[in-house]
């Protein structure tokens, strides 16, 4: 029986594009592209395109995930990806942190470094950066106008993610970046980013997430994410479960690339430290091919960041060669300067408010452990909201490990968000604990602020959309200086 709904990426076609089209300009295109003259018009044009980040799973069409449209778009843009030296990274958790650390180290070593990540927290331009700086509004507008015109010509049904991926690759080519660090959006094999030819591929920790699209087991999900492996391109992975590692090694052998596992093929150790200079933190040792990185402080809080840091250092070791050798003191300086907004990020001081985009059980567990190890507090008030298609009950179990008081809310303008009342009912049935609800993030923060004592901590988590809305709200409050949120 035929179906028009997308239930899984497994078995989807990854057919190659047909013969290359003659280069065409927007002026000669028979399609229609939106009128884009301003930055707001550019953002509006992108957000009006099909967007998997905002669609409920049942509304994702069967032909959403394929690489043909990307190849068509990039062909019309003169294939900017072909001249790029890239690092391609996939995984369930830890991608953003690994990108942040690798980018900061490469910048310190003098490399012009582009990053492409998702989702954004406040500003859509966060997704495309060069040397840590967002693309300018005028450049973003020009890229959107160009990509939209090309899409009208060859791929009118191109998605939001496909278009902005093409824009990022074009921008990195225009800026002549020394390296582009490209993060997958969903999965790997059929992800729009899987058109790059990387110098190295990286795999962060793989857990259950997006099962409706990637598979019901970690092994199935691992096979999808290992779809970024390329013949002859070295791949590095953090330590995984035996089942996931077996799949990664099998795919690497099938593809014809060398896979090295942190802690097995690459010597690695980590330890927890407390010093006057850094406070509570992790330190790592990574023995590379050329440089041994010994006892480097991990700049991001949480024991789980040690693995991500080791992955970034191992990638750095592969990227440097000959005249581009990296001095350890320069690497140390770059690593220490790492910034990772929205991840265990204290964004307000009175009361203390921490935000983290933990959105699956593995990241929720890491968050609760990280807070317990790194941040002193008397009581923690958790404000939580998540998308309805997540593993809600498992997230709630992890939330209960750390939260003394729980307030459920939801991000505005997010169709996939679970209703606060439903979250509260499920939490009470699971844990037999009372909780509160708030219809908006602002009201949830106000309730928490009234309840928080001087040494208490407010933790806002569950989705990047909730965190982004919180950060935007607090920016406005900070600008007003008279906000009721400030004590």
Measured CA angle at 113 (ends 109, 118), to 5 deg: 135
Q: Look at residue 186 in the predicted model and tell me its pLDDT.
A: 87
The dihedral through the CA atoms of 130, 134, 135, 140 has a sign that is positive
Of 160-174, 208-222, 233-247, the least confident: 208-222
Mean pLDDT, range 347-368, rounded to an integer: 92
Which domains are present in the chain? 30-336 (3.40.1190.10), 345-480 (3.90.190.20)
User: Confidence band (pLDDT; 50, 70, 90) for 5?
Assistant: very low
By the 10 Å C-beta count (0-12 exposed, 13-18 middle, 19+ buried), 5 is classed as: exposed
Q: Look at residue 322 in the predicted model and tell me its pLDDT.
A: 54
Selected residue with higher pLDDT from 331 and 59: 331
Q: Tell me how far CA of residue 153 lies from CA of 79, 142, 157, 452, in angstroms.
A: 16, 17, 10, 56
pLDDT tens track for 25-82: 333 334 567 789 999 999 999 999 988 776 655 555 555 678 989 999 999 999 999 9
Share of the chain above pLDDT 90, in %: 72
Mean pLDDT, range 248-256, rounded to an integer: 97
Q: Look at residue 61 in the predicted model and tell me its pLDDT.
A: 57
pLDDT tens track for 183-200: 999 889 999 999 999 999
Q: Do 318 and 201 meet the contact criterion of CB atoms below 8 Å apart?
A: no
User: Confidence band (pLDDT; 50, 70, 90) for 173?
Assistant: very high
What span, in angstroms and rounded, lies between the C-alpha atoms of 45 and 164? Answer: 11
Q: Provide CB contacts within 8 A for 467, sequence distance 6+.
A: 121, 342, 355, 356, 357, 460, 461
Mean pLDDT, range 280-284, rounded to an integer: 94
pTM of the model: 0.89
What span, in angstroms and rounded, lies between the C-alpha atoms of 66 and 217? Answer: 22
Tell whether omega for the bond before 210 is within 30 degrees of 0, i.e. cis: no
Of 54-58, 168-172, 319-323, 430-434, the least confident: 54-58
Q: Look at residue 11 in the predicted model and tell me its pLDDT.
A: 47
pLDDT tens track for 81-109: 998 999 999 999 999 999 999 999 999 99
pLDDT tens track for 382-431: 999 998 888 899 999 999 988 999 999 999 978 888 999 999 999 999 88
Q: Do 87 and 200 meet the contact criterion of CB atoms below 8 Å apart?
A: yes
- Round the average pLDDT of the chain to a whole number and report it: 88
Selected residue with higher pLDDT from 172 and 20: 172
pLDDT tens track for 422-456: 999 999 998 888 899 999 999 999 999 999 999 99
User: Confidence band (pLDDT; 50, 70, 90) for 4?
Assistant: very low
């Amino acid at each position: 029986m035929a179906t028009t709904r997308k239930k899984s990426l497994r078995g989807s076609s990854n057919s190659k594009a047909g013969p290359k089209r003659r280069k065409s300009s927007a002026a000669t295109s028979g399609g229609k592209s939106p009128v884009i003259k301003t930055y707001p018009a550019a953002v509006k044009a992108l957000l009006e395109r099909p967007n998997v980040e905002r669609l409920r799973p049942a509304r994702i069409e069967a032909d959403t995930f394929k690489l043909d449209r990307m190849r068509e778009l990039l062909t019309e843009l003169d294939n900017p990806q072909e001249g790029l030296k890239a690092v391609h990274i996939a995984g369930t958790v830890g991608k953003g942190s690994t990108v942040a650390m690798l980018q900061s180290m490469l910048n310190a070593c003098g490399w012009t470094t582009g990053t492409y990540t998702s989702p954004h927290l406040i500003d859509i331009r966060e997704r495309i950066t060069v040397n840590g700086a967002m693309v300018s509004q005028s450049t973003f507008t020009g890229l959107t106008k160009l990509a939209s015109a090309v899409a009208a010509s060859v791929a009118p049904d191109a998605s939001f993610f496909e278009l902005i991926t093409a824009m990022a690759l074009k921008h990195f080519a225009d800026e002549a970046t020394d390296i582009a660090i490209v993060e997958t959006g969903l999965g790997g094999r059929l992800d729009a980013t899987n058109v790059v030819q990387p110098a190295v591929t990286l795999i962060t920790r793989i857990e259950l997430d997006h099962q409706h699209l990637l598979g019901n087991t970690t092994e199935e999900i691992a096979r999808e994410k290992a779809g970024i492996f390329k013949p002859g391109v070295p791949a590095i992975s953090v330590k995984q479960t035996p089942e996931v590692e077996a799949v990664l090694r099998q795919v690497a052998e099938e593809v014809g690339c060398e896979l090295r596992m942190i802690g097995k093929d690459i010597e690695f150790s980590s330890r927890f430290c407390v010093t006057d200079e850094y406070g509570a933190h992790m330190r790592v040792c990574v023995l590379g091919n050329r440089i041994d990185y010994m006892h480097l402080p991990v700049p991001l809080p949480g024991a789980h960041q040690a693995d991500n840091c080791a992955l970034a250092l191992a990638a750095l070791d592969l990227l440097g060669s000959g005249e581009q050798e990296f001095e350890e003191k320069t690497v140390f300086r770059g690593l220490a300067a790492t910034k990772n907004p929205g991840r265990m990020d204290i964004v307000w001081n009175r009361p203390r408010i921490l935000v983290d985009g933990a959105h699956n059980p593995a990241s929720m567990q890491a968050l609760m452990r990280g807070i317990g190890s790194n941040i002193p507090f008397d009581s923690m008030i958790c404000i939580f909201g998540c998308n309805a298609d997540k593993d809600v009950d498992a997230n709630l179990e992890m939330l209960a490990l750390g939260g003394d008081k729980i307030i459920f809310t939801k991000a505005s303008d997010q169709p996939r968000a679970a209703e606060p009342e439903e979250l509260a009912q499920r939490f009470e049935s699971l844990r037999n604990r009372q909780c509160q609800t708030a219809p908006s993030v602002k009201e949830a923060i106000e309730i928490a602020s009234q309840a928080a004592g001087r040494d208490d901590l407010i933790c806002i988590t569950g989705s990047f959309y909730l965190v982004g809305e919180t950060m935007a709200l607090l920016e406005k409050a900070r600008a007003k200086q008279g906000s009721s949120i400030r004590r």
